[in-house]
Amino acid sequence: MNSITESTADETRRHYLLIVHDSVTGRVRIHVPTLYRNQQLRKQLETKLTELAEAKAVSANILTGNLLIEYVFSAQSEDLPTSIIHVLEAVTGHLIIRQSEHVHRPKLPPKKVKVAKKKRKPEAISRYQEPPFHLWHTITGTRAIKFIESDESGLSGEQAVDRLIKYGPNILSEQRGRSSWQMFLQQFVSAPVAMLGLSAVISLATGGAADAIVIVTVVMINSVIGFVTEKSAEKTINALGQLAPEYCAVIRNGKRMDVPLSDVVIGDVLVLMPGTYIAADARLLAATQLSIDESPLTGESMPVGKAHDFLGQEETALGDRQNMVYMGTTVTGGSGRAIVVATGRYSEIGKIQSLVGETVTPETPMQKQIDEMGLQLALLSSAICGLVFVVGLLRGRPLPEMLMSAISLAVAAVPEGLPAVATTTLALGINDMRRHKVLIRQLPAVENLGSVQVICLDKTGTLTLNRMSVVTLKTLQSTINVKQGRFFSGKDAIETQEFDRTLWLMMEVFVLCNESSPSEQGELQGTPTENALLQAAIDAGENVALLRKKHPTVKVDYRAEDRPYMITVHAQEDGRFFIAVKGSPAAVLELCIKGGSDDGEQTLSTDDRQAILTWNERFGADSLRVLGVAYCIADEVAGYQEQDFIWLGLVGMEDMIRPGMEELIGQFHSAGVETVMITGDQSATAFSVGKRLGLNGDHGKPLEIIDSANLDKLHPSVLAGLVDRTSVFARVSPAHKLRIVEALQQNGKVVAMTGDGINDGPALKAANVGVSLGEKGADVARSVADVILEDDDLKTMVTAIKEGRSIYDNIRKSLHFLLSTNLSEIEVMLFSAALGGSEILNPMQLLWINLVTDIFPGLALALDPPEEDVLKRPPRDPQEAIVNRSDYIKLLRESGIITTGTLGVYGYSLLRYGPGQNASTNAFMSLTLAQLLHSYRCRSEKTSIFHSESRLPNRYLDQAVGVSVIMQVLAVAFPPLRNLLRLNPIGAADALAILAGAGLPLIANEAIKVIGNQPIEEEDAS
């Protein structure tokens, strides 16, 4: 069969199974177009094919759409076995062909494929090939080496280069950020800006160049403010840098060498030592007491023990694959070697990152509200302007005059200051957050913080320090609680010099039977468990260096499968040996016949043993990690027997909760924000941490917990019903976190998600507010988060929520001010059109009023100090309109009162001067000053200016109103400006009338506010 032409290549990929690689004997890779993201098809293919005797191994990759098959090779037929072809075509419904020339089914209908005259090179599905297999945890290390065609002595230099070309560099696809142009252009995407742009075009077309210039200037200033602020935040976030090292140790040509992480390829042998950053996914070849911190990937707080001889099943969970190590994790103890089986985007991290790339970030509530408001204003202004235009024409006004009036009114109807207020307020919020070490990626994220109703807290590294700490010591005689490095018995602190002999011996075992050691900087280097034991001994006053010098280590027997404890032998000055043991309490207890007590030593009775086991179970129920500790003195290194050991006691450890977290959870609950903990830890551990933190709070609901085993079985609709009453999710995967966030959002919640690990990436991006740690956060987490806590202090989230709520309140205040004052202008112009005769306000006066009253007072209201109850009320309903029906009624009432005051002054002027510039001047001055004074009424919906002692002053508003008043005085006092606006000078009597027309509406509106709030205050008082 001839090769398919380029014109039908894409069609072929969609309708046929393409053999993309079969150069290795007994192996074939086939591209299945319908396999992508099709979990059901994957299971069908793997189930049906593995039932065939000819198929040895089958692996379907739903991320790439490729199917890898190992089959029994027959010398009689070099083609893929017919039985496999039949199953493939039957399950998928597609015919199978080669990507190049040969077709396994030569009877392919010729009409479906055009024949090319010249042969062409096979088209690759992608630039680089995917790894040859993915179920590495199910096969032995020896078979993995053969499968990859490598060797325990590593690859040669030439092989490494060839594989780098074949599989690509070991790098993750970066999350593409917005370009500078995208950031800038995005500032113009809003309904109010569109309305202003349309008004500017109409103004320019009708000769109103001054109007158009002013409108365009305001829009550009808003856009520049938003762009500069977001660009600055993006640079700060990116400056946090990469956390991964640049090089790693591998074996090549039988020699250990350091290579760049990006040059690690499939088949390389990694050298694993404490502190090693795992550069790629790898199958273990050898492991000695190897433990890995997999918390960045799985969320499991405890280091995971590894064993190279472990064999798992296909369904073995990622966190339980003891023979695998994964990119992005770190070696905490022991040593080992592993052969690389997946790099870059094909690693587990890469798969998670591909999931991140497919997740869509939702719009913020404010974005939706402002868009809706823009549409409402467009419809309202169009209708009113049309009405004024028609009424004016019917009353005999000239067409050009009415056209200019209608356009001026359109400008007045749209609050030019709204984009400036919203953008500048959010920008100032970002700057304020930066002072609190909180970096905001985008402007709307600040507002979104104030709308948060549920905060999902990642436990490991966020709520806890991901560091073990000794919290309880239990000897035969006493129970000692340890808090922040101090030891307590009951309520009283115990001085270390008053420790009894048993406790001091326990401290010595902590130091000697321990491989952790203090660094020059004073930090402990070792596993979290041994670091905790050593820190407890140091806090008790032990001199680690002196004790280890006095008792040098002679022999170490590590934990093993049949020995769940560690034994170390140490030389003494008298020639004998001090033998220390720590490990499983039940196993260590079996070694002991005596126990330490205040009187020295005593034989362990049956009751003593039962009491020890009971305390062990009790500590375990509190989700503590419990170890038993014992010792003995022997004359020879191997001269001890099991009954020689003396029981010292139990030690209970836990993952340390970050200081202040309990109070923080309480603050969240007081603010009406529900808390949910999501962790990869076991259910018992998660429940214990949740209980200590008080996650159920004052909501009256029990501390519900769901683990991954139950989570997998839940239908999305069922999960959506459960998430509202669940406080803890345990043993979760990255996909589970994403499901939980989406289920909460499905219930209409505004969700914040905190996390620091690679496994948190998808959920961080999907959440309404993604919050990542700056210092310890993984690059994937930081790249998609909206908020980065620069110093990893979660307590600043309360400040951020307060700031977000205050910003939303202030934007509502500004919007209330802008709409009510603009409505008063519309009402005055509508009355003027209905009255006939000369206009009350001319187009230039309308533009001046907007310039003086809209921007500066509106911005000053956006800087209003937070009200006292901002963190004592529940979050607002995200579905609630930014201006609801009751607000519109209030706006009409307030604007009507302002309009009445202006028309009163205009009526007085008509009686005194008749129609003309004097009456227009007085009405213009009265309306402008009334709007400026109205800004003080908009500061609060509850407190009045008559009770100013209950509110913090707003000096910005005082300054803004002062500057605007000066500009207004100049409008009538400065002749060139007065002539431009067509105004007349004002006398003393007119000034008094203007002040009355401006001040009385403020008093009236404030009185209505006080009367309206009076019943609520009385009810609260009762």
Q: Are the CB atoms for 516 and 525 separated by under 8 Å?
A: yes
Amino acid at 119: K
Token pair, residue 70, equals 């190992």
CB-CB contact of 550 with 544 (8 Å): no
* Distance, CA of 163 to CA of 983 (rounded, Å): 83
**Bridge partner list, 571:** 577
Angle at 417 between CA 411 and CA 423, to 5 degrees: 135
SS3 readout for 937-996 = HCCCCCCCHHHHHHCCCCHHHHHHHHHHHHHHHHHHHCHHHHHHHCCCCCCHHHHHHHHH
- Assess whether 458 carries a catalytic annotation: yes
CB 473 within 8 A of CB 503: yes
Place of tokens 């500790």: 629
User: Do the strands 281-293 and 330-342 form a parallel or antiparallel pair, or are they unpaired?
Assistant: antiparallel
Beta carbons within 10 angstroms of residue 903's beta carbon: 21
Nearest to 340 by CA among 162, 60, 149: 149
Can you tell me the distance from the alpha carbon of 280 to that of 359, in angstroms, rounded to the nearest whole number? 24
- Choose among 148, 154, 151, 153: nearest CA to 134: 148
In this structure, are residues 28 and 96 in contact, taking their beta carbons and an 8 Å threshold? no
Q: Please count the other Cβ atoms lying within 10 Å of the Cβ belonging to residue 918.
A: 19
Interatomic CA distance for residues 26 and 102, integer angstroms: 17
Q: Which DSSP string do the residues of 318-377 spell out, in sequence order? A: GGG-TTEE-TT-EEEEEEEEEEEEE-GGGSHHHHHHHHHHHPPPPPPHHHHHHHHHHHHH
Q: Cα–Cα distance between 19 and 31 in angstroms, integer? A: 6
Query: Amino acid letter at 480?
Result: I
972 near 986, Cβ under 8 Å? Answer: yes
- Picking from 466, 447, 356, 346, the residue whose alpha carbon sits closest to that of residue 781 is 356
Task: Please count the helices (runs of H) and the strands (runs of E) in the chain.
Answer: 34, 33
Tell me the CA distances in angstroms from 636 to 595, 630, 633, one per residue in order: 22, 18, 9
Question: In 3D, which of 459, 24, 400 has the Cα closest to residue 207?
Answer: 400
Instruction: Report yes or no: 665 and 693 within 8 Å, Cβ to Cβ.
Output: yes
Beta strands in 923-1020 (DSSP E): none
Which residues have a Cβ under 8 Å from the Cβ of 26 and sit 6 or more positions away? 56, 70, 71, 72, 73
CA atoms of 628 and 654, how far apart (whole Å): 15
Structure tokens at 287: 């492991």
Residue 394 has which token pair?
Answer: 């019917």
Catalytic residue selected from 211, 293, 458, 786:
458
Tokens of 244: 């991964």
CA separation for the pair 725, 879 (Å, rounded):
21
In three-state secondary structure terms, 711 is helix
Distances (CA, A) of 13 to 33, 129, 467: 6, 17, 51
- Catalytic center residues: 458
